[in-house]
Amino acid sequence: MNLAAMSHRPESEDCFLYTSKKLRLRFHTAQNDVAKVVVLYGDPYWQELDQHQQYRLSYQRKPMSQLGTGQVADHWGVTLEAPYQRLQYLFEVTGQDGSKWLFGDRGLRKDTESARIDTGNYFRVPYFHEIDRVKTPDWVKETVWYQIFPERFANGDSTNDPVGTKPWRPSDHPGRDDYYGGDLQGVLDHLDDLQALGVNGLYFCPIFTASSNHKYDTIDYLTIDPDFGDKTLFAKLVNEAHKRGMRVMLDAVFNHMGFASMQWQDVLANGKKSRFASWFHIHDYPLTPFHNPLKGEGAPQYDTFAFESRMPKLDTANPAVQDYLLQVATYWIQAFDIDAWRLDVANEVDHHFWKRFYSAVTAIKPDFYILGEVWHSSQPWLNGDEFSGVMNYAFTQQIEDHFLTGKQTAAGMTALLTDQLMLYRDQTNQVMLNMLDSHDTPRLLTVAGDDIDLALQALTFAFLQTGTPCLYYGTEMGMDGENDPDDRKPMDWTKLGQPIWQRVAKLIGFRREHAATLGRGMTKLEVTPSGLIKVVRHGRETLTAYFNTTASSVPLTAAPVLHQRFAQNELAPKGFVVAVN
């Protein structure tokens, strides 16, 4: 048995309170190395008389289930309850070779009765404090998000169009500085269409005053960009969305400001004497703006987002900056009743600020959703005092690499997805934002080579995974587009209600109908001997799905409630079936 491969971390994603009374444990072993794992557990203070009338530790036994297999490891899990809100536990590991070991807080021991009752080697959860439980908003687990890039969604009010606004042509290939006149009135005009599609969460790219069409260079965080409307219109939009059961998430850019912001302009005008000089990471004076090292112009004298000299980076460790940004964060909740913040470039912002941010917004709305933009492993932000979840690019990249580009095998994908699920607590996985495209990536249909069946197969697989799914505007219309700015074409409203729209709406309806299981249930991924990818979701019911990513039809007996390219007990390539047991 490979003893070096065994691992478990107490009070982490391997040991966490799922509810106030249920403790979930995970244990990891080398792939195909261990036959079974049993957890020995009990109250740290409970003892019983043995046959010799001596008091000794009393423990219970419970087998762990195999949660799945990753690239190099098997993952095991179990849920425990404790009558006195405290537990100690030890792992009994039986290898495929028949050997037995005990894995505990102070190391490995040969499996003997004396080692079993050695309380010093037990892991402990001293008390099930409710405050220690990582809480994530339950409503997010039943939400299907829809991402709106406001400038390209719909032009509902031509009177606020910027100078030089272009005609609304979905076939265009936009330039970086083009305007098409999209606004909040356009969103309001199409709320009924979004309700008919079935989405119940609206995720807006930035809507605050900014210089660009994308609005990620904020000038004023406390005003609506006049290209989009005003606060009265936004309040009406939020109210109308809430009437339809839709939550509203805004995009906050707290890593950097726009060049035209009052604060940065004051620094340019007054240099070191500016009261905002300490708000930014400035290395040298006098300032010369617009340096771009990628163009051989030398590095800026101040830190920026990437190499964008028009986006000076804020010093988010500065208490004055923190206080200002917290004023912004709480204002839009208190004044307009928004339900969530998506946080741009969240991994480059000070951790202490995010802890203050979490406390401030959840004090107003305890079930507020906080979504960070982090493209890599995110454990430091997901321990219950910063973010609810992150944009799950690391997870969904594995889906794209197999379904759409073929860079990864089916077995490789399921292993990587299983490993990803082990990085976070179950309640955290349930609110990670799963999307196959966004304003920062090529569109799904383009990556799929304009193959609608292939795109919808991948989208269906993503919608069946743990996490809250997100649809990028226009996917339901069959829109395509390469990377930024081509992925930001004007919405093609001529495709409303067309066959692809109907197929996407049906998928959304299925996700919401089975939200109790898909939003909270356990996930098991595997590849069958015939090469089909099998997804099993256990919750209030059991959902079983098969996806054919091979080059040949595969025999399959099933009674699906959702399917594609399945007939006469044959599942064709690019096909899937989803059954409810």
Chain centroid to Cα 450, Å, comes to 26
Of the listed ranges 43-57, 133-147, 156-170, 359-373, the least confidently predicted one is 43-57
Q: Which fold has domain 139-253+315-518?
A: TIM Barrel (3.20.20)
Once rounded to an integer, what is the mean pLDDT over residues 553-569? 97
Tokens of 462: 């993503």
pLDDT above 90: residue 460 = yes
Architecture of 255-309 per CATH? Alpha-Beta Complex (3.90)
Cis peptide before 167 (omega within 30 of 0): no
pLDDT above 80: residue 141 = yes
Rounded to a whole number of angstroms, the CA Rg of the chain reads: 26
Q: Where in the chain is the domain with CATH 2.60.40.1180?
A: 521-578
Architecture of 1-123 per CATH? Sandwich (2.60)
- Do you know the residue count of the chain? 581
Active site residues: 344, 373
Query: Is 67 within 8 Å of 413 (Cβ atoms)?
Result: no
Q: Where in the chain is the domain with CATH 3.20.20.80?
A: 139-253+315-518
Q: Which of 242, 241, 206, 246 is nearest to 227 (CA)?
A: 206
**Predicted local distance difference test score (pLDDT) of residue 45:** 87
Q: Which of 577, 545, 581 is nearest to 464 (CA)?
A: 545
Between 71 and 581, where is the model more confident? Answer: 71
Grade residue 55 by pLDDT with cuts at 50, 70 and 90. low
pLDDT above 80: residue 248 = yes
Token pair 């093609």 in the structure block, residue: 492
Neighbour-count burial for 63-94, b at 16+ CB within 10 Å, e otherwise: ebeebbbbeebbbbbbebebeebbbbbbbbbb
pLDDT above 90: residue 289 = no
Query: Is 461 within 8 Å of 576 (Cβ atoms)?
Result: yes
Q: Which of 391, 261, 360, 251 is nearest to 313 (CA)?
A: 261
CB under 8 A, 24+ apart: contacts of 551-560: 554/530, 555/530, 556/532
Once rounded to an integer, what is the mean pLDDT over residues 371-388? 96
Q: Please write the tens of the pLDDT for every residue from 211-239.
A: 999 999 999 999 999 999 999 999 999 99
Query: Is 298 within 8 Å of 304 (Cβ atoms)?
Result: no
Instruction: Please report, for residues 109, 249, 332, the alpha-carbon distance to residue 148 in angstroms, rounded to integers and kept in the order given.
Output: 56, 10, 18
Q: Please write the tens of the pLDDT for every residue from 512-549.
A: 999 999 999 999 999 999 999 999 999 999 999 999 99
pLDDT above 70: residue 244 = yes
Query: Is 209 within 8 Å of 224 (Cβ atoms)?
Result: yes
**Predicted local distance difference test score (pLDDT) of residue 215:** 97
Chain centroid to Cα 265, Å, comes to 36
Tokens of 18: 């799922």
Tokens of 152: 């390209």
Tokens of 116: 């079993």
Q: Which of 170, 130, 139 is nearest to 152 (CA)?
A: 170
DSSP string covering 238-306: HHHHHHTT-EEEEEE--SB--TTSHHHHHHHHHGGGSTTGGGB-B-SSS------GGGTS---SB-EET
Q: Write the single-letter amino acid at 173.
A: H
Chain centroid to Cα 195, Å, comes to 23
Chain centroid to Cα 291, Å, comes to 35
* Stretch (H or E) spanning 356: helix 351-364
Instruction: Please report, for residues 235, 304, 312, the alpha-carbon distance to residue 226 in angstroms, rounded to integers and kept in the order given.
Output: 15, 26, 23
**Predicted local distance difference test score (pLDDT) of residue 56:** 66
Grade residue 294 by pLDDT with cuts at 50, 70 and 90. low
Of the listed ranges 116-120, 171-175, 319-323, 421-425, the least confidently predicted one is 116-120
**Predicted local distance difference test score (pLDDT) of residue 581:** 86
Q: Please write the tens of the pLDDT for every residue from 82-106.
A: 989 999 999 999 999 999 999 999 9
Of the listed ranges 147-151, 394-398, 490-494, the least confidently predicted one is 394-398
Close Cβ partners of 327 (under 8 Å, ≥ 6 residues apart): none
| Mean of all residue pLDDT scores within the chain | 95
Question: What's the CATH code, domain 521-578?
Answer: 2.60.40.1180
**Predicted local distance difference test score (pLDDT) of residue 250:** 98
Q: Please write the tens of the pLDDT for every residue from 152-183.
A: 999 999 999 999 999 999 999 999 999 999 99
**Predicted local distance difference test score (pLDDT) of residue 54:** 63
HSE-up (13 A, CA, CB side) for residue 21: 4
Query: Is 543 within 8 Å of 537 (Cβ atoms)?
Result: yes
Q: Where in the chain is the domain with CATH 3.90.400.10?
A: 255-309
**Predicted local distance difference test score (pLDDT) of residue 378:** 95
**Predicted local distance difference test score (pLDDT) of residue 197:** 98
Tokens of 93: 């590991």
Q: Which of 398, 476, 406, 502 is nearest to 448 (CA)?
A: 406
What is residue 83's three-state secondary structure? coil
Neighbour-count burial for 345-380, b at 16+ CB within 10 Å, e otherwise: bbbbbbeebbebbbebbbeebeebbbbbbbeeebee
Percent of the chain with pLDDT over 70: 98
**Phi, psi values for residue 280, rounded to 5°:** -125, 165
Q: Please write the tens of the pLDDT for every residue from 469-525.
A: 999 999 999 999 999 999 999 999 999 999 999 999 999 999 999 999 999 999 999
Grade residue 249 by pLDDT with cuts at 50, 70 and 90. very high
Query: Is 502 within 8 Å of 496 (Cβ atoms)?
Result: no
The rounded distance, in Å, linking the Cα atoms of 141 and 519 is 5
